[in-house]
Homo-oligomer: A and B are copies of this chain.
C-alpha cells in the first residue's frame, strides 16, 4: 500500500468554518486499520433536512439499502461512517450490522433509528463487526465538536492519500449561510452514481424535498462527470443535510427548489460539489496527471458526455497520459468506440492550446514538441470538437499508471 501523497493533491486545504447545528467526533474502532481513526459520527442538534443520491449498482451495500429506506422519513439526527469494511455483499449479516449500528447510534443520540444514516467503505464481502461501534458511539456523541471537519475527512479515508474538504458561502434572502463538505474516494470510481462517500452540510433552512432536487441536479456535472477507473462501487453515497440553524438569523425555511431565493445557494452548492469531485479524481489511485476532457460540437450534451467518458475511461488514453505521450490517435479511437454520432472528417483535437488534428487528419502545423510540452504538465486539458452540433460536456479523470496496478493487485492483503 502506498503512503505517498498524490502529486496532484491540493497545495493547501480550505479553512473549514464551524457550521452551526452539526458536531462531529472520530474514533479508532479497529475495523481494519491500526493506529488511525476509522469511524466518524456526525450529530445534528436539531433534526436536519436530508437528501441523498446513491450508487446505481444492482448489488448495493447494506448501508445504501438502509439510507434509502430512511430517506422517506425526511429528518436526520446522526450519521455513522466507517472505513475499512464496506459491509457490502454480506447478506443477512450485513443487515444485522446496519441495524445494530443504527440502534447504538440512536441510543447515543436519543433519537429514532429512522433518523440515523450509515455509510461504510472498504473491502467488499467481509462481515462487519458492528459491536465495535457500540462501544465508542456514546463517548463520541458526548465529545462531538463543530470544529472538526478536517479530522472527519481523515477518518473516512481508505486508499485516499489526502483528506478532501471544501466550503462555500451563500446568501438566502439576505441571510448568510455556509456549506461545508467532505468526501473520500480514490479507486472504484465511476460516474452514473453519486460518488464514493461524500457528506455535505449547510446551516441553511431548506426542506428535504428542495434539498433532494438540488442535489440530484448538482451531482450530474460534478461527481457524475468524474471517473478514475470506470468501476462503480456498491457503496457510493452522497448526502446533503440542512441543519436550519440560519433560521435563528431570520432565514425563512424554503420548501421549493425553484424558489429564486435559492439561486445563489445553488451556485455555491454546485461549485462545492465540483470542488470535491475534482479532489477525488486528483487522488485517483496511482495518479500522476489530471485530464480535463471537454467535448464540443456533439449532437447533444448527452452524446458529448458519452464520448468524453469514453475518452476518460480508455486504458490506452490513460496510459498514454502516464507516458506523457501526445498520442491523439487513441483519442480518435475512443471517440470512434463511444457509439455516438461522429464524423471522422470533421473531428478536431487539442491538447491544451495545441491543435493536433483537424478535418480528420493530423494538423498541418502539427508540432510534436508543442504537443509533448502539454503532456509533460500535471494538468492536461484535452478538447475534441465533433463539428456536428452544439452539445458539450466536460469530465475529469486521471492517468493509468503502474502504481494503480500495484495498489490494486495487492489491496486486500
- The residues of B that contact A124 with a CB separation of less than 8 Å are 329-330, 332-333
Contact partner of A315 (CB less than 8 A), chosen from B127, B229, B357, B361, is B229
A410 at the interface (CB under 8 A from B): yes
Supposing A89-B344, A91-B345, A357-B89 touch, asked if A408 and B336 sit within 8 A by C-beta, the answer is no
A14 at the interface (CB under 8 A from B): no
A341 at the interface (CB under 8 A from B): yes
| Among listed A55-63, A101-109, A110-118, A147-155, interface-contacting one | A55-63
What is the CA–CA distance of A356 and B10 in the complex, to the nearest angstrom? 41
A266 at the interface (CB under 8 A from B): no
A132 at the interface (CB under 8 A from B): no
Tally of A interface residues using CB under 8 Å: 74
Contact partner of A188 (CB less than 8 A), chosen from B188, B316, B338, B408, is B316
**Per-residue contact bits, chain A 120-150, to B (CB 8 Å; 1 contact, 0 not):** 0001111100000000000000000000000
| Among listed A202-210, A272-280, A399-407, interface-contacting one | A399-407
What is the CA–CA distance of A33 and B230 in the complex, to the nearest angstrom? 34
A176 at the interface (CB under 8 A from B): no
Supposing A333-B231, A361-B92 touch, asked if A406 and B402 sit within 8 A by C-beta, the answer is yes
Judging by beta carbons under 8 Å apart, are B329 and A410 in contact? Answer: no
What is the CA–CA distance of A413 and B362 in the complex, to the nearest angstrom? 17
What is the CA–CA distance of A336 and B55 in the complex, to the nearest angstrom? 10
Judging by beta carbons under 8 Å apart, are A58 and B340 in contact? Answer: yes
What is the CA–CA distance of A347 and B125 in the complex, to the nearest angstrom? 12
| Among listed A43-51, A162-170, A318-326, interface-contacting one | A318-326
Contact partner of A360 (CB less than 8 A), chosen from B91, B123, B341, B411, is B91
**Per-residue contact bits, chain A 348-361, to B (CB 8 Å; 1 contact, 0 not):** 00000000010111
What is the CA–CA distance of A103 and B60 in the complex, to the nearest angstrom? 59
Supposing A315-B231, A410-B325 touch, asked if A58 and B342 sit within 8 A by C-beta, the answer is yes
Judging by beta carbons under 8 Å apart, are A231 and B125 in contact? Answer: no
A90 at the interface (CB under 8 A from B): yes
Judging by beta carbons under 8 Å apart, are B409 and A320 in contact? Answer: yes
- The residues of B that contact A413 with a CB separation of less than 8 Å are 323, 325
Q: Which of A56, A89, A408 has the most CB of B within 10 A?
A: A89
A93 at the interface (CB under 8 A from B): yes
A83 at the interface (CB under 8 A from B): no
Judging by beta carbons under 8 Å apart, are A337 and B190 in contact? Answer: yes
Judging by beta carbons under 8 Å apart, are A405 and B408 in contact? Answer: no
A187 at the interface (CB under 8 A from B): yes
Contact partner of A125 (CB less than 8 A), chosen from B229, B342, B361, is B361
By Cβ-Cβ distance, the 3 closest A-B pairs, closest first, are A124-B329, A323-B409, A91-B361
